[in-house]
Amino acid sequence: MIGTFFRQHVLPWTLSGLALLGVAAWLYADHTAFARRSVVATGTVTELQRGGVQYSHDGQPSMEYHGRVSYLVDGVEVVSRMLLVYCSTAPCDPPPVGSAVTVAYDPEQPGRAVRSSPDGLPRWPKPNLVSVGLVALGLLSLAAVVINVVWIWPVLRARPVKPG
């Protein structure tokens, strides 16, 4: 009975919680490794694409501007699409086509780039929303494990001891 309870109620929650935490750690490690090995370059906006207006729960509009930016990597021109500006206020000035922007690119994958400050990306970047969500779900799964074990603990302690 106890073994069946653990196989059905504790083990799946434990495995799913550890798997979610593992995926979250892997995503954050990839994000951090990209930030640490990134190289800062100056690029030129070659195309500007405006996203649709998104409204928050309180009715405030926000908008994203993506664009294609060309920059040089070892003398070769690379073009990458990236988020240029995220605006949560009405007057939003995206960089015009032909303007210079600072980008941070991965020297191992030159097409992977993001807009950055002239100082580059931080060594310990903020976790993205996906990583935070996976950590929350993983911790919630492990909390379910604790609840299940605490719930069955009085049953385990009340079991009679077999003689001999």
Tokens describing residue 141 = 């799964």
pLDDT score of 4: 80
pLDDT score of 152: 79
DSSP 8-class letter at 9: I
- Do 114 and 43 have their domain in common? yes
- Do 151 and 84 have their domain in common? no
User: What is the separation of C-alpha 147 from the centre of its chain, rounded to a whole number of angstroms?
Assistant: 28
- Do 33 and 84 have their domain in common? no
The model's pLDDT over 41-54, given as tens digits with 9 standing for 90+, comes to 999 999 998 887 77
List helix spans (H) across the chain: 2-5, 11-37, 129-158
- Do 85 and 45 have their domain in common? yes
Task: Read off the CATH number of the domain in which 69 is found.
Answer: 2.40.50
Angle at 126 between CA 122 and CA 132, to 5 degrees: 160
The model's pLDDT over 93-126, given as tens digits with 9 standing for 90+, comes to 888 999 999 999 999 999 999 999 888 888 888 8
Q: Is residue 151 scored above 90 in pLDDT?
A: no
Going by their DSSP bridges, the two strands 76-87 and 113-115 should be labelled as unpaired
148: region left, alpha or beta (phi > 0 left; psi from -120 to 50 alpha) = alpha
- Coil, helix or strand for 51? coil
Q: Give the range of the structural domain holding residue 132, as residue numbers without chain letter.
A: 1-37+122-164
- Do 112 and 60 have their domain in common? yes
Q: Is residue 164 scored above 70 in pLDDT?
A: no
- Coil, helix or strand for 64? strand
Q: Is residue 135 scored above 70 in pLDDT?
A: yes
Weakest-pLDDT range from 40-49, 59-68, 136-145 = 59-68
pLDDT score of 3: 76
Q: Rounded to whole angstroms, how far apart are CA atoms 67 and 86?
A: 12
Q: Rounded to whole angstroms, how far apart are CA atoms 26 and 135?
A: 11
Q: Rounded to whole angstroms, how far apart are CA atoms 98 and 101?
A: 9
pLDDT score of 160: 66
The structural domain count of the chain equals: 2
Q: What are the two backbone dihedrals, phi and then psi, of residue 83, each rounded to the nearest 5 degrees?
A: -75, 125
